[in-house]
Amino acid sequence: MEEDNHLLSIVLSPSPSSFQKCIVVALALFSWILIHKWNQRNKTVGPKTWPLIGASIELLKNYERMHDWLVDHLSVSKTTTVPLPFTTYIYIAEPSNVEHVLKTNFSNYPKGELYRSYMHVLLGDGIFNADGEMWRKQRKTASFEFASKNLRDFSTTVFREYAVKLSNILCNVSVNHHDIDMQDLYMRMTLDSICKVGFGVEIGTLSPNLPDNSFAQAFDEANTVVTLRFIDPLWRIKRFLQIGSEALLERSIKVVDDFTYSMIRRRKAEWKNNKMKHDILSRFIELGKEPESGFNSDKSLRDIVLNFVIAGRDTTATTLSWFTYMLITHPDKAEKLYMELKSFEEERAKEQNIKLIPYDKDDVQSFERRISQLAGLLNYDSLGKLSYLTAAISETLRLYPAVPQDPKGATRDDVLPDGTKVKAGSLVTYVPYSMGRMEYNWGPDAKSFKPERWFKDGALQTFSPFKFTAFQAGPRICLGRDSAYLQMKMTLAIVCRFFEFKLVPDHPVHYRMMTILSMAQGLKVQVSRRT
């Protein structure tokens, strides 16, 4: 018994050497913390950091306002480094740094494995999430399609059709004096449009009764959750246990996949029956006949479809929403645009020797006929004459870019033009939302909505894509830029000519943290008809 007690005392009581080791470790840890805090004492730029966890606390605390939090930091320093437990985020807002990442040293800054691991469940190997040969193949095919006159003409017809449908819904809303969520309407319109143009499918979410659409809801939920992964160190554990946000993600992805795969099966069946259409999905199905194309599986087509949905639906709809909000909050700009559209309508009718249909804004039938008449005057070329509308869209994108930040993964160590050292594995993110608000980029009125800045000597001017980064730049510059402007101008030319909006009292307008800069609570407005 005594021998057992002796052994137990040895086990429970640390030897002097073990105790000394514990003291050394504790002192080392305490010293490390003190040194870290000492180094932080005079820090004037960048977020607060802590040993081991880096700036995680600051990121989590500011997550819901992250874009404005970055504005605060990038206003002080053109490059902001945010260390995290497993990687480092480097945010950039100065054009020369952006050009270095997006063009000069493009090969060193692909999407990267870290970013791809976050987004793969939603975007798979689609063009927004792909690197290397798969990205090049998709871009080459998409580039060919977007350059097609047939696709442009078809898109113009579809965009016109859905702009008129949207306007007729607004007319009914104004008659019944109902409030309406414009972001929801724009999302419905652009979803119907991209499904028609991209995949030859009519899904009818912009029907007058505004039916619920499970695909759209699930897609938004999935988008929100994968964005949260960027700052949630526990997401892999949640995914393994199927709890919390990751459980919601799995349910959402199932709905998204069921819709997408059914669309692909339908188009393939039509293709086999020689009913091939000239939409983008059909083009990829045709290319998939070649075994080495990379487009011969339903999974690869699914990824292509979802990437085009996020490109053609979300980005355009959110820009239209912020544009409408800008007009509501800047009535002088709204009036200037209205006068341009009214003059345009009269001039186009005169050019074509067409008598404009007289209408009474209180007579719904004559009002809708006049809407259709204006729509008939709009085409790709005529829309190019609406310079103030174009400038106002660009100004909206400057302040409210559809993709507010875009990370790239560094494959090798690098040094940015401003001297910032980049370690391999870091995520270097250019921040269009912040860039549009920086005085060192746009002058002292950078935060003001001012379409006039897009004119020089009375003519529209352009800015470097490394300064105005709403459509990215370099080899990955957005292929759908012209298509996006076409749909936005087509829609807004009609909507802003015939309607004006007021924000529903006390309705909050702020962004929701997801890949796209959408409004968290939508855009609830009251609609009235114009003369």
- Bind-site residues for heme: 478
Q: For 42-82, where are the alpha helices, taking DSSP H only?
A: 56-61, 66-76
Q: 421-448 burial string, b = 16+ CB within 10 Å, else e?
A: ebeebbbbbbbbbbbbbbeebbeeebee
- At residue 361's C-alpha, the angle toward residues 359 and 365, to 5°, is 60
- Look up residue 115 and give its amino acid: Y
Cα separation of 71 and 180, whole Å?
31
Contact status, residue 264 vs residue 200, Cβ threshold 8 Å:
no
In this structure, what token pair is assigned to residue 489? 């101008």
In this structure, what token pair is assigned to residue 103? 């063009």
Cα separation of 435 and 80, whole Å?
13
Strand ranges (DSSP E) for 321-444? 406-409, 414-415, 421-422, 427-430
Which of 445, 119, 298 has the alpha carbon at shortest distance from 285?
Answer: 298
Which residues are part of a known binding site?
A: 478
Question: Radius of gyration (Cα) for the chain, nearest Å?
Answer: 27
Beta bridge partners of 414: 422
Strand 499-503 and strand 524-529: the pairing is antiparallel
Beta bridge partners of 421: 415
Evaluated on CA atoms 98, 104, 108, 112, the torsion sign reads: positive
Beta bridge partners of 460: 455
Cα separation of 211 and 191, whole Å?
13
Q: 278-295 burial string, b = 16+ CB within 10 Å, else e?
A: ebbbbbbbeebeeeeebb
